[in-house]
Amino acid sequence: FLVQEEKINLDGTVVNFLKTGTGSKTVICLPGAFGTIWTNFKPQIEGLAPELFTLVVWDPPGYGGSRPPSKEFGPRFFYHDAKLASRLMKELGIEKYSVLGWSDGGTTGLVMASEDKRVEKMVVWGAITHVTPTDLIYHKNVTDVRKWPRDLADPLFAAYGHQGLLEMVSRWYGTFAEAVDVRGGDLCTSCLDGILAPTLVIHGRKDPLVPEHHAKFISQRIPNARLLI
């Protein structure tokens, strides 16, 4: 199974992506924290019917093949990523599309759908729009990459190196800690009211990082949303 990855310059940021399939329904897949095209969306790339769907999958800026430079976190990084993902779809000439967003990619997708009316439908799982002091405890536990399951850690060690991943996770945690300290935990809550696209919000009961209340909050704030737990 061969799919050709490409690079494109989006307003000075070089992004790695792939496009596969010939279907009339176009979907952009947004990886989560530290995730890449293949660590997060291999099953979809290889499993979704290419005659029905056209998939666009990217390495988010600063992750995977979209380096250098390394990821720049900060209070607006979800908005930055959303803007570039929308720009990617525009550069590819795609007029209507749906979003699959996992983890941080789900949060990016929420911002995209609020600002880009080309988004027709959306599925997000593991997404959050705010962070609580209790959430920070879960996030802090994640910073010790030595405790990660090997099937999760090994591909990321291969992509970033042990030290590179450790530093990236530390900076990622710092962004959420700053949100709690400076902005009452808000990441992009206001974006939810502007989402018109029908949205499926999925939550895994065994999610060790994101409590169920985040999925409920998102589904309640989006006018046309359904929650699946």
Q: What are phi and psi of 17, to 5 degrees?
A: -155, 170
Question: What is the DSSP track for 147-201?
Answer: GS-HHHHHHHHHHH-HHHHHHHHHHHHHHHHHHHHHHTTBSSGGGGGG--S-EEE
Residue 108: the pLDDT is 99
**22-55 per-position pLDDT tens digit:** 999 999 999 999 999 999 999 999 999 999 999 9
Sign of CA dihedral 166, 171, 177, 179: negative
**pLDDT value at 1 more than 80:** no
- What is the pLDDT, as a whole number, of residue 208? 87
From 218, 9, 223, select the one nearest 101 (Cα to Cα): 218
Closest CA to 103 of 76, 136, 126: 126
Class of domain 5-129+188-228 as given by CATH? alpha beta
pLDDT at position 101 is 99
In the chain, what are the domain boundaries?
5-129+188-228
Dump pLDDT digits (tens) for 202-224. 999 999 899 999 999 999 999 99
pLDDT in tens, 54-80: 999 999 999 999 999 999 999 999 999
Percent of the chain with pLDDT strictly greater than 70 = 99
CA distance 168 to 174: 10
> Could you tell me which residues come within 8 angstroms of residue 1 by beta carbon, excluding any fewer than 6 positions away?
46
State which H helix or E strand residue 227 sits in: strand 225-228
Nearest to 106 by CA among 87, 123, 81, 131: 123
Q: Look at the pTM and tell me if it is higher than 0.75.
A: yes
Predicted local distance difference test score (pLDDT) of residue 202: 98
Cβ–Cβ under 8 Å, residues 94 and 26: yes
Measured in whole angstroms, the distance separating CA 135 from the mean position of its chain's CA atoms is 18
Structure tokens at 150: 């090997």
Average pLDDT over residues 176-200: 96
DSSP letter for each residue of 37-52: HHHHHHHHHHHS-TTT
Provide the 10 A C-beta neighbour count for residue 205: 6
Confidence of residue 102 (pLDDT cuts 50, 70, 90): very high
Q: Any bridge partners for residue 28, and if so which?
A: 56, 99
Grade residue 2 by pLDDT with cuts at 50, 70 and 90.
low
**Predicted local distance difference test score (pLDDT) of residue 3:** 85
Instruction: State residue 18's pLDDT score.
Output: 98
DSSP β-ladder status, 97-102 and 119-125:
parallel
**Cis peptide preceding 211, ω within 30 of 0:** no
Per-residue pLDDT, 97: 99
Task: Look over the chain and give the mean of its residue pLDDT values, rounded to a whole number.
Answer: 96
What does the pLDDT look like over 147-186, one tens digit per residue?
899 999 999 999 999 999 999 999 999 999 999 999 999 9
- Quote the CA–CA distance of 146 and 143 in Å, as a whole number: 9
